[in-house]
A and B are shown apart, each in its own frame.
Chain A
Amino acid sequence: MSTVQTAGAAGVLERVRGSRLLWPLVALVALIAANAARNPGFLSIRLQDGHLYGSLVDILKNGAPTLLIALGMTLVIATRGIDLSVGAVAAIAGAVTCTTIVGSSDPTSPAAALTGIGLALALCLVLGLWNGFLVSLLGIQPIIATLVLMTAGRGIAMLITDGQIITVRNDFYREIGAGFLLFPISILIALAALVAVALVTRRTALGLLIESVGINPEASRLAGLRSRTIIWTVYVFAALCAGVAGLMISSNVSAADANSAGLWIEMDAILAVVIGGSSLAGGKYSLSGTLVGALIIQTLTTTVYSMGIAPEVTLVFKALVVIAVCLLQAPKVRERFRRRRRSQDPTSPSSPSTSGSLAPEEDSPAPTAHEPAGDAASDSKQKVAQS
């Protein structure tokens, strides 16, 4: 299946290899177009009582938590890490806030909500510090270090809510996830965070330092970078993003559900990052890619939902999308296209899988010249990263 797809795409890919963001954008536009074709009302947006309404607005609103978490995840992935605990952290944030609100003297007051939010974010900060401690100081593999909190975190959330679904009636709190300021407040928060991160990482040297750590932590340390501090910081940031996203999720339904709040959202966030063109191997990252990736995932979910298919089936589509995107971006596949294109050359290595994987790193120009694919890929990646 993939071969058919890829062969057809080869020609196009050759022309547009300048941008890694192009394919995700094409996918997003195609998804929206398909929806619009099926349901002409899909694109319509109307203004009522100072709120925008419409399917596109819903996509933005529902996609906000994923986008926010994916934002934190992008930076974590750029340092060669991964944070599996974000879903659990989101659940904990919702649980803490709702229990605090319910337990306060006046559960409807903004003060109760603010106390809850403050407590929740403080706890998220601690959880982020914990993940960062395991990864940067103890040097435990990120996937496993955060697996600890992923497993235990839901238990902790259940502990906080005592296994109940806690519902709150607090208008102030409701605004975060369900409120509108012309646009949904949640997406405004998420976009503000995105812009802030973009400015901070690209206007200062933070982006370069994060990428350096991701590319080679030891070399970065020896160049005088505070690798540990940088790694630690991104985990704390990721946990805070997850916390705020957890607030959005719980605020949107005015309830804390320790079991299902943010379930699988870490996967959605990782998918968003990957679809956006950042490599899971760390290093160069693309924030705009993450934005597009998060929107694709949410649009996909909405599409499946509006087609009247059981929402759970979205998973199948997500799987197909992620495989397709990963294959399109895999250096290996790109290399093959290129070969096939210029391939009046029947003598190219008979088993590409062998030749690619074992060319020992060496100081000869041959391997260097041999990898135009990797070269072009990295070049384009760089362009994306700079955008």
Chain B
Amino acid sequence: MTTTTPTKRTVPALSRLPGIPGRVLPVIATFVLFVLLFGAGSVRYEGFTSGQVFANLFIDNAFLIVLAVGMTFVILTGGIDLSVGAVVALSTMVAAAALRAGLPAPVVILLVLAIGTGLGVLMGLVIHHFELQPFIVTLAGMFMARGLCFVIGVESISIKDPFFRALATGTIELPGGVVITWSVVIALAIVAAAVWVLHRTRFGRTIYAIGGSESSATLMGLPVGRVKVAAYAISGLCAAVAGLLFSVYMLSGYGLHAVGMELDAIASVVIGGTLLSGGVGYVLGSLLGVLVLGVIQTLISFQGTLSSWWTKIAIGTLLLLFIVMQRLFMRRTP
């Protein structure tokens, strides 16, 4: 970075943040990690190197991708949303109960989306207008959403609606015989939309500005309040979409669905290189983060002898690695 000032003095740039290569580096590292893990799987297990295994990563994690996108918006503003897992559960529950009650599928979908977005807006309003910590407000939101699940019903409700069933079984064949589901298409469309919004709209840039310095953003005359509330609304909306995808995936609604999924979403975002302090990160990084989690799950299932709890340990370890890496990297940058 060359800095030429008219006064021709060279003051060492005391960057508090990594420079351009710095901010992309974690994403590259995540990508390399993904390739390595996938490569390792290909070497060890027969049948791993198929397009379908790769496609399955998307199919099995479509809801998590959507969730991670919403979480990225919130974390970029410097906040956090702990309620998303519970909102996923609530969405499955509402969908299942409403379908059982005979409401038509499109109405149910709109209802679920409205509830998710509404919860997000509500939490955002409380966070912004009362200056409460996002952590504690979304924690309350999480309790609220989980509790509401059990108000609807304590038992699991199965979904028999033909539209949902069709979505669950319907597939799209890609060239090369690889099959994907509609969920994947929806998830990827949401990723694309998020990339555009974050990088090519004033709204998106304001998200980054708030994460960089909220007080500055306010003084710069940016609509901080509206954008912050909108970030939580987007996260709520994404959680509702993820909930719909999850109910299609499971074909049931249950209050104990998606327990701890908010942690997976946060882990994906962090592994994808987004700083938890806000202002730095990419949606595509979060997508890669989800794929890394997915490939670890796939590896463990291919291994067969390993129990599923190894997944948790592996995710924890990876999370640690990436956090420490971010930390060390930021220190080394002078």
Contacts and interface: CB of A to CB of B under 8 A. Distances in A.
Direct A–B touching, Cβ under 8 Å = yes
A144 B80 CA distance: 11
A152 B276 contact: no
A152 B318 CA distance: 10
Interface string B125-153: 01011111101110111111011111100
Contacts of B143: 267, 315-316, 318-319, 322
Interface stretch (A169-177, A288-296, A324-332): A324-332
Given A144-B276, A358-B215, A358-B219, A314 B130 contact: no
Main secondary structure of the interface of A (DSSP, over half): helix
Contacts of A45: none
Main secondary structure of the interface of B (DSSP, over half): helix
A280 interface: yes
A100 B137 CA distance: 40
Nearest to A153: B316
A317 B150 CA distance: 12
Contacts of A281: 133
B211 to A, nearest CB: 14
A323 B149 CA distance: 19
Contact of B126 (A274, A315, A323, A331): A323
A368 to B, nearest CB: 18
A155 to B, nearest CB: 3
B-side interface size class: 35 or more
Contacts of A110: none
A322 B307 CA distance: 37
A312 interface: yes
A354 interface: yes
Nearest to B264: A151
A366 interface: no
Contact of A319 (B132, B135, B144, B263): B144
Interface string B170-202: 000000000000000000000000000000000
A155 B312 contact: yes
Most A CB contacts (10 A, CB to CB) among B80, B307, B320 go to: B320
B133 A312 contact: no
B313 interface: yes
A166 B292 CA distance: 33
Contacts of B154: 310, 312
B239 to A, nearest CB: 16
Contact of B218 (A153, A270, A332, A357): A357
A356 B224 CA distance: 14
A141 interface: yes
A270 B139 contact: yes
Contacts of A317: 147
A307 interface: no
A181 interface: no
Interface in B94-109: none
B225 interface: yes
B144 A330 contact: no
B276 A151 contact: no
A245 B151 CA distance: 30
Contact of A353 (B150, B225, B310): B225
Nearest to B316: A152
A147 B309 contact: no
B306 to A, nearest CB: 11
A207 B267 CA distance: 34
Given A143-B276, A144-B270, A280-B133, A151 B263 contact: yes
Interface residues of A, number: 54
A149 B313 CA distance: 9
B6 to A, nearest CB: 28
B219 to A, nearest CB: 6
A253 interface: no
A49 B260 CA distance: 43
Nearest to A157: B309
A354 B135 contact: no
Contacts of B214: 357
A7 interface: no
B241 interface: no
B327 interface: yes
A326 B130 CA distance: 9
A93 to B, nearest CB: 17
B129 A319 contact: no
Interface string A318-346: 11101100110011110000000000000
Contact of A143 (B80, B132, B144): B80
A315 B129 contact: no
Interface in A137-152: 138-141, 143-145, 147-152
A165 interface: no
B128 A353 contact: yes
B140 to A, nearest CB: 4
Contacts of A141: 276-277
Given A317-B147, A330-B131, 14 more contacts: A138-B327, A140-B323, A140-B324, A143-B135, A148-B323, A149-B316, A151-B267, A151-B315, A154-B312, A155-B309, A155-B310, A159-B309, A271-B139, A280-B136
4 closest Cβ pairs, A-B complex: A152-B316, A316-B147, A155-B312, A315-B147
29 contacts: A138-B324, A140-B323, A147-B266, A147-B267, A148-B320, A151-B312, A152-B312, A155-B316, A267-B139, A270-B136, A312-B154, A312-B255, A313-B150, A313-B151, A314-B147, A315-B146, A315-B147, A316-B143, A318-B143, A319-B141, A319-B147, A323-B126, A326-B132, A326-B136, A330-B132, A331-B131, A353-B128, A357-B131, A358-B215
